[in-house]
Amino acid sequence: MATILMTGAAGRIGTLLRHHWHNTHHLVGLDTRSYKPLENEEAYPVDIQTTELWTILASREIKDRLGEQSPVLVHLAAVTWDTAGWTHIEETNIRGTYNVLSVAKDIGASRVIFASSNHVTGGYGDWAPGTRSQIFDLPPTVTANMPVRPDSLYGVSKAFGEALSAYYAWKHHLPVICLRIGSVTNRNDPRENPRLRSTWLSHRDLCHLFDCCLAANVQFGIYYGVSNNTRRFWDISNAERELNYRPQDNAELWYTEKGKTDGQSP
């Protein structure tokens, strides 16, 4: 049973992962919002912008619970909308990510899983198949090793987080996996809008991807998190090769007659 420290534990992805992991791992959830912890979970209110994170994770209570074990730190907390303004984005996504990685190094975390975003490369063009290459003269598939091209200040902040993660991985020998996560919806239904036919990441594939990150022997890497969608335009070959990621769900199958009539995943 691993110990997993999770920022943003009360959010959409954090809640999915907590329900997926609480029977198999010891969870320590960290969030500005209060929530009811599950079995094998502790919850702490914390603001990652401040030194509160150090105070909590360096406390005798946490150290006693960790013992000699090196925890995994899953960093999900973020401001995800540009309308919040640059000040809030900077405080949470830049200063907060620096605090998280610094704490991970200080407490001897075995690895960090950093929730980056597809918005780091969102500037490569439209989602529609064929449109990007026809209008923008761009390659048909966006890979993890292409130059960043953020589509928003949020994307800029996540690109910073990836660069900072690389610094901690190579300078401070802290393994970090960066996931450019696709579209995770509350209802887990890719028919909510047409773009999801390309960008959908199902709940099942999301949890599988994070399981792969727990098991992988990777010092540093950047990977796209998207389901096995027929129309996807993000390359996942390095995730398949290095993380053993094998997504099972395909948004296109939801548009079959069966999907239209019963509203269920095929």
Contact partners, residue 96, CB within 8 Å, separation at least 6 = 7, 48, 49, 77, 78
- Distance CA(50)–CA(56), nearest Å, equals 11
Residue 125, both tokens: 């063009």
Nearest to 72 by CA among 36, 27, 40: 27
Which helix (H) or strand (E) covers residue 239, if one does?
helix 237-242
Residue 238, both tokens: 């390095």
Active site residue ranges:
154
Nearest to 197 by CA among 160, 233, 246: 233
Nearest to 167 by CA among 239, 104, 122, 237: 104
Q: Helices (DSSP H) in 31-152: which residue ranges?
A: 52-57, 60-66, 86-89, 96-106, 131-136
Nearest to 212 by CA among 188, 240, 184, 234: 240
Nearest to 250 by CA among 234, 232, 223, 227: 227
How are the residues of the chain apportioned to helix, strand and coil, as percentages rounded to the nearest 5?
45, 15, 40
Q: Residue for token digits 């995943």? A: 265
